[in-house]
Structure 1
Amino acid sequence: MRLLLAVVALLLTSLSVPADAARGGGGPVIQPLPVGTDADYQLGGERAVPPGVGIVVRDRRAEPAGRYDVCYVNAFQTQPDEGRFWRSRMHLVLRHDGTPVRDEAWGEWLLDLRTAAKRTALARIVGRWVDRCAADGFEAVEYDNLDSFTRSQGLLRRRHALAYARLVVAEAHEAGLAAGQKNLAGLDGTRLGFDFAVAEECARYRECGEYVAAYGNRVVAVEYRRRDFRRACRQWGAELPVVLRDLDVTPDGVRRFC
């Protein structure tokens, strides 16, 4: 009997599924954000990637760079050049007195996350984008504007954003992509399923430590001012990839690594 039990245990061990592959009920293996390498942030256009860079973030409509490629998706607001797409889906855009609520800094409309039905509909749209990212060869997705509720004139609540975040993280994982939190420092996004973070100006706003507390060294730090970049390099450069970019992240703009 003991021999039989030992054989059964051995067979079960040999058939066990790796933990990463088990995410999503036996779904695809998700590749974690690499550590110990630089990261480049190329949202405004593609450019050559230096040899020491192992992580590259590009817009979802761009080609992957052939490194660990992160697909940028504006999941909580609209892109300025996608007005036609969203005008045909205005029931999913947040409105106040019939007028779309805007993020004035970037001219983007906020998406309406207030009901489960709208969150589900929006997650389906994002899911199609994410599937395309995966098909194109990206390894991960960065979801921008998790904090859009703070710019919603009080119409959105934090709970709406977090409920929606769970849905889009699930979409990423189902597509085999790691999911990156963007914004809302202090939130432990791992509780929502996020795998890493992209921290814009975390040195400027003294937030890097909050992201590190949740994600360890799986944090990409992006700074836009030289003095903040120098501070980030002094404090976090030994642990995190830190890149200095121009605010418009143009293809020929500022780019420095620690």
Structure 2
Amino acid sequence: MLRRAALPAVAALLIALGGCANATDPSSPTIVLPPSGAVPDYQLGGAYDPSPEVGIVGRDRGAEPAPGVYSICYVNGFQTQPGELDAWPRELLLQRDGEVVFDPDWPGEALIDTSSAAHREKIADTVIPWIEGCAGAGFDAVEFDNLDSYSRSGGSLSLDDSLALAALLVDAAHAVGLAAGQKNAAEDAALLHEWAGFDFAVTEECAAYEECGAYTAVYADHVIDIEYTDELPRPFAEMCADDSSPDSMVLRDRDLVTPDDDAYAFEACD
């Protein structure tokens, strides 16, 4: 079970950063949330024209947004992207005994060291231009992945550290008119929304793991779920019909390949 931060400690941390991240600023750009119940598609493995029924598309920050739909820009804010390790200063990578710590499930992704305010400011200096690039490209929102990387750090990082960096990144997204999406981290949804200011959630397999309620309790109908063909505990149609499943849910292949690949899979709820 993931370590839970004490609420007073989290509050004190964010007050030190300048106050609660979800405070309303009348001078801020208008933030538009994902359309409730719209059919999503998740295209991190490659961009392609979405099906006509699709109203929400998630793509990598290196891709252009899909025209005519609500577009979400994927940013890996707490771990390095595969192939981008050298783009990060070594001092910002979590290390143990002089060796960089990698995500055990994603060996190409190193954990970013969020353990100090100085590090978080430098991390933000790298990530915020990506966020601004998403806005400049025409995306409507940004999702931040690996908010729960602290849980894979062997105790070197904490939830407080993630919340503090997340608050910086969410503020940066809001400053350029982007809604900010929490990616996964069901256990921390309430704190991520309240103290970091996230507006909606993008989840993977919340129906398969029976944790969708942790998101909908916080974000109501602004939850977008991606299920995968190789991990279905029951027929997808049954999962769609389950009252606990989000209205915006899609079935995709694990590698999120494009339609010209034989492994491609896409199915929306009726």
TM-score (norm 2): 0.83
Preserved CA contact (<8 Å) 1:40 1:53: yes
1:245 equivalent to 2:252? Answer yes
Which runs of no fewer than 5 residues in structure 2 stay unpaired?
1-22
Paired with 1:72 and 1:126, the residues of 2 have a C-alpha distance of 12
Gaps of 5+ in 1: 1-21
2:239–2:245 Cα contact (<8 Å) kept: no
More helix by share: 1
The number of aligned residues is: 235
Q: Deviations over 1:44-99 (max 9, x none)?
A: 0012211111100000000110111000000010001212212xx11111111111
Q: Which residue of 2 aligns with 1:202?
A: 206
Structure 2 equivalent of residue 82 of structure 1: 84
- 1:54–1:236: structure 2 CA closer, same or farther, 3 Å change rule? farther
Q: 1:164 to 1:195 in 2, by over 3 A?
A: same
- Residue 117 of structure 2 aligns with an amino acid whose one-letter code is A
Quote the Cα distance in structure 1 between the aligned partners of 2:181 and 2:83.
Answer: 23
Q: Deviation per CA, 1:180-211, whole angstroms, max 9, x where unpaired? A: 00121132132021000001110121110110
Offset, 1:113: 0.4
Measured in 2, the distance between the counterparts of 1:231 and 1:163 equals 39
1:69 matched to which residue of 2?
71
Secondary structure, in 3 states, of the residue corresponding to 1:125? helix
- 8 A contact 1:203–1:231 mirrored in 2: no
Q: Which runs of 4+ in 1 moved over 2 A?
A: 22-25, 225-232, 236-239
The CA deviation at 1:32 is: 1.2
Letter in 1 for 2:250: V
Distance 1:130 1:24, change over 3 A: farther
> Is 1:110 aligned to 2:111, yes or no?
yes
Aligned residues: percent identity? 47
Instruction: Indicate the residue corresponding to 2:53 in structure 1.
Output: 52
Which residue pairs with 1:254 in the alignment? 265
Is the 1:45–1:249 contact (alpha carbons within 8 Å) kept by the matching residues of 2?
Answer: yes
Task: Name the counterpart of 2:5.
Answer: none
Counterparts in 2 of 1:30 and 1:133: CA distance versus 1, 3 Å: same
Flag the structure with more relative contact order, 1 or 2, with Cα contacts below 8 A and sequence separation at least 6. Answer: 2
Q: Is the 8 A contact 1:24 1:174 kept in 2?
A: no
2:15 alignment partner in structure 1: none
- Residue 100 of structure 2 corresponds to 100
With over 3 angstroms needed to count, the CA separation of the structure-2 counterparts of 1:185 and 1:173, relative to structure 1, is same
Counterparts in 2 of 1:140-151, with a 5 A limit?
140-151=141-152
Post-superposition offset of 1:137: 0.3
1:232·1:242 contact (CA, 8 Å) conserved in 2? no
Secondary structure of 2:221's aligned partner:
coil
Alpha-carbon deviation of 1:239? 4.8
Structure 2 contact 223–246 (Cα < 8 Å) conserved: no
Amino acid at match of 1:100: V
Q: Which residue of structure 2 aligns with residue 42 of structure 1?
A: 43
Superposition TM-score, scaled by structure 1 size: 0.87
Give the corresponding residue for 2:17.
Answer: none
Q: How does 1:4-43 map to 2 (within 5 A)?
A: 23-43=24-44
In the TM superposition, residue 104 of structure 1 has moved relative to its aligned partner by 2.1
Change (3 A) 1:24 1:99: farther
Q: Which residue of structure 2 lines up, in the alignment, with residue 212 of structure 1?
A: 216
* Aligned partner of residue 87 in structure 2, secondary structure: helix
